[in-house]
Chains A and B, each alone.
Chain A
Amino acid sequence: MRIPRIAPSEITPEEVFLNRRSLLGGALAVAASQMVPASESAGPDSGQLTFTRNAKLSVTEAPTKYDDITHYNNFYEFGTDKESPAREARSFRPSPWSVTIDGEAEVKGKFTLEDILKANPLEERIYRLRCVEAWSMVVPWVGFPLSALLARFKPTSKAKYVAFTTLFAPARMPGQQANVLPWPYVEGLRIDEAMNPLTLMVVGLYGKTLPNQDGAPFRLIVPWKYGFKSIKSIVKISFVERQPPTTWNIVAPDEYGFYANVNPDVDHPRWSQATERKIGGSFLNSRQKTLPFNGYAEQVASLYTGMDLRRYF
């Protein structure tokens, strides 16, 4: 029996898809008028963001349901189950928030998130997200290019890499009370990867402030790399000369590389990366082929010309 790739019932009608923001806005307005106290759980400043839509850098696939994006999370700071971040991050307060900039840059210091946001107009980009565990989503992020942020701090010629650090606060992030990973979580990019127009600093999801379980209030998204590179709840950005340590690479260097580019030809030692299961797909038909660089090869493959991607996985 041949099953069609996409059942007709699964396809969102075009007019609904195109109007989803107004639908969402309408739903939000209703929600806001009816249950103001209930919105407390999503954080005090949760709400609609102002942004423009970047269609050029968005994929045309229908986004994964909001409910799935917010209830299927790998965020070990709030527990190792997919379901636990939504539960454990409920009382997390992502404000006030500030980000420390240090290392090889002319402008350094501690900046409030408001300050960082003031200088950077927000845009929405619908990106694919591919987890190293071989599942994927399509997510409408709201943010701004990392390159715009980095330019402001005037990195010096010694700044070859950018290192990121997640908040370390075991009392607020209960997952950090267990020794599952060395805390705080750290990640890094080569400076040219960081400056690539696709690399996004994210503060929102589906037009609203980023929910806690998705890395509030300020996270990275590198759509051509496995999800663990896209570090969450960032409190520090450092410009460094040498390749910085990265958490998953520290704990299992044979399984998780520094580059971690999505690559269907290089398997994880314990599972295949050739295909992925799309979250929210139908029961019988959600496995799809994984694309090199997660479908962003055209924009980023040139960053790695001449590199042996099997060695630098």
Chain B
Amino acid sequence: MILRELSEAVGVSGDEGSVRVVVLDAVREHVDEVKVDTMGNVLAFKRGTARLSASTEPGEVSSKSGRQRMRVMLAAHMDEVGLMVVGYDNDGFLRVRAIGSIDPRLLPGTLLQVGPERIPAVIGAKPIHLLENGEREKVPKLEDLLVDIGAKSKDEARKLAPLGTYATFATQFRELGPTVSGKAFDDRAGCAVLVELLRGERFRFDLHAAFTVQEEFGLRGARVAAYGIEPDCGFALEGTIADDIPKDKDVSPTTELGQGPAITVMDYSFIADRRLVQLLTSTAEELGIPYQIKQPGIGGTDAGTIHLAREGVPSVTVAVPCRYIHSPVALLSLEDFNNTVRLMRESLSRLTRRTLNRGRRN
């Protein structure tokens, strides 16, 4: 399962090299061209099957040149949230800061892998026996946490993990029956969906896949990728928040495990193109693929910068629901994963220039 390799690869924002290797190996023989751009995005191109001739159906021709196939961008980000070494304690402990949003409540006692050599480490925590009154109720701040790599001195610590060294969770991928668990499902789940789509049949349009960098650090990779690709429309593929743990009130679970791919209508970063949302929901309904609309207003994805590229790119986000994202371990349903691949494949095979011409009478 490609998701296992992707999940276990290490690639905190700005240091996506190991994930890039996995991605390149996974897609190389299924695409026509693949390159790495200046930011580090992997851009893979898979030519469409629509014939290029003056008589090509208008539905398959890009409005820009009149003789081009439609260009569709599919993006998934390779980077994951993690930590960076920013200092040392005199006794050889590391001080860290977060890259991307991480909940400090989840950190004490977790296992890490530090640097390219994947040095095992533990985030230190005071034993429960020694906690003083009131300490149990307090959440430690990230800057107060100590990362223990077994170094005995400041110098040794600095040697093992120089300033700026990345660290991430040391979590193995596990199959739990209908679900799987592992780290970095945000967004290796999306990367895995994109790999599956590239491995399948060609579409009529030209497919431009972007495995992007630095999403968790400001949607930065997708921005330049979309500028370079100049797509007619864009899809961000994601692993998103499933918040279906029991609640006191009858309120939104954001998304739920097992209820199918989650389609974004609006989040803090963008508003999805309604015609693309409609394409996805009508395809799902026609084929009986379960789907859910993600609770609007929550989170942000690469679509937030893709839609702003050049003259604007109609965009949407489709995600595999994942419990406990941005934590040391996330969990997703394989059925949701497979349904996301299927919904994307079926929707994309129904996507034509006409989809994007609706409401755009010129």
A binds B: no
Q: Which of B's residues lie within 8 Å of A, judged by CB?
A: none
